[in-house]
């Protein structure tokens, strides 16, 4: 009788401790309504620090893939010389530092995109990080603003060697291709601001030589600054989406720059209180 009673009771105990799929969803899924912070650039730095993209001061960690994409209009009015509507210029660049005043990066000096950014025309950015799968979370950052030139020396120490080498090589190839009139034929068969690779073996040779010169500190500061332009993206608006399969919905917050600039420490951006947005 005792064994029979135990046999009958065992399935009941198992059923009593079983969590149904619906109950699991209730236990696991979360909804957060508190703003992640008052300064979006500080929130961004902490997000990236947590994923080991940057150090405590916001500088890029060695060997990491830390990038954002930015888009600008091809001209101030978005049209070409013949009046046709042109697509925006889109680039992906490595983030070198994030701080209270913005996000720092570099482009090739003298390029059309560098000239556009130097004119402080409107820029939109997009950055994504994380993994969208159970137990993990992902963030998407969007922003609007403009870019300002900054000294290359401010971030030169954290630039990846392949970035510096590539921009130096491109500049050297252009310089040796100039004719007596100061023109070159590297853009004749390609689109917009692109340069054709006409002799791969020659470019490979110059790349290897340039890399050795960098390792031996044989590249002058003047050539570095003539080849690489540092910029800071200064946002007027930033937006953060955060979530994953374990969230009830995406958390979406928006920060807008405070035009008055009251009570703002020097070297940082004044922000209005963040607003929570619908996920879509």
pLDDT for res 182 = 56
pLDDT for res 186 = 60
pLDDT for res 179 = 60
pLDDT for res 188 = 58
237 φ, ψ (degrees, to nearest 5): -150, 140
Residues of the chain with pLDDT under 70: 1-33, 75-83, 179-193, 261-267
How far is it, in rounded angstroms, from Cα 167 to Cα 161? 10
Q: Do residues 253 and 266 make contact, with C-beta atoms less than 8 angstroms apart?
A: no
Q: What's the CATH number for 28-158+230-276? A: 2.30.110.10
Sequence ranges of the domains in the chain: 28-158+230-276
180-223 pLDDT per residue, tens: 555 666 655 566 667 788 889 999 999 999 999 999 999 999 99
Q: Which of 116, 94, 117 is nearest to 106 (CA)?
A: 94
51-68 pLDDT per residue, tens: 999 999 999 999 999 999
If one counts every other C-beta atom within 10 angstroms of the C-beta of residue 13, the result is 10
pLDDT for res 87 = 87
pLDDT for res 175 = 86
């Amino acid at each position: 009788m005792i064994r029979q009673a135990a046999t009958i009771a065992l399935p009941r105990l198992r059923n009593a401790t079983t969590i149904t799929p619906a109950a699991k969803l209730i236990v696991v899924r979360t909804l957060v309504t508190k703003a992640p912070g008052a300064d979006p650039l500080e929130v961004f730095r902490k997000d990236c620090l947590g994923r080991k993209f940057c150090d405590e001061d916001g500088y890029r960690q060695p060997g990491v893939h830390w990038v954002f994409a930015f888009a600008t209009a091809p001209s101030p009015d978005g049209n070409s010389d013949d009046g046709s509507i042109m697509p925006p210029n889109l680039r992906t660049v490595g983030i070198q530092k994030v701080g209270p005043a913005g996000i720092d990066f570099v482009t090739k000096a003298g390029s059309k995109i560098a000239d556009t950014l130097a004119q402080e025309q409107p820029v939109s950015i997009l950055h994504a990080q994380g993994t969208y799968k159970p137990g993990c979370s992902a963030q998407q950052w969007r922003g609007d603003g403009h870019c300002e030139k900054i000294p290359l020396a401010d971030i030169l120490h954290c630039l990846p060697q392949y970035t510096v080498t590539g921009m130096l090589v491109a500049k050297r190839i252009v310089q040796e291709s100039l004719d007596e009139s100061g023109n070159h034929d590297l853009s004749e068969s390609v689109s917009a601001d692109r340069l054709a690779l006409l002799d791969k073996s020659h470019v490979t040779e110059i790349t290897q030589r340039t890399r050795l010169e960098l390792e031996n500190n044989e590249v002058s500061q003047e050539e570095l600054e003539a080849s690489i332009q540092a910029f800071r993206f200064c946002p007027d608006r930033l937006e953060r989406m955060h979530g994953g399969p374990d969230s009830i919905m995406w958390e979406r917050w928006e920060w807008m720059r405070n035009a008055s600039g009251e009570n703002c420490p020097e070297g940082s951006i004044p922000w209005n209180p963040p607003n929570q947005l619908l996920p879509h």
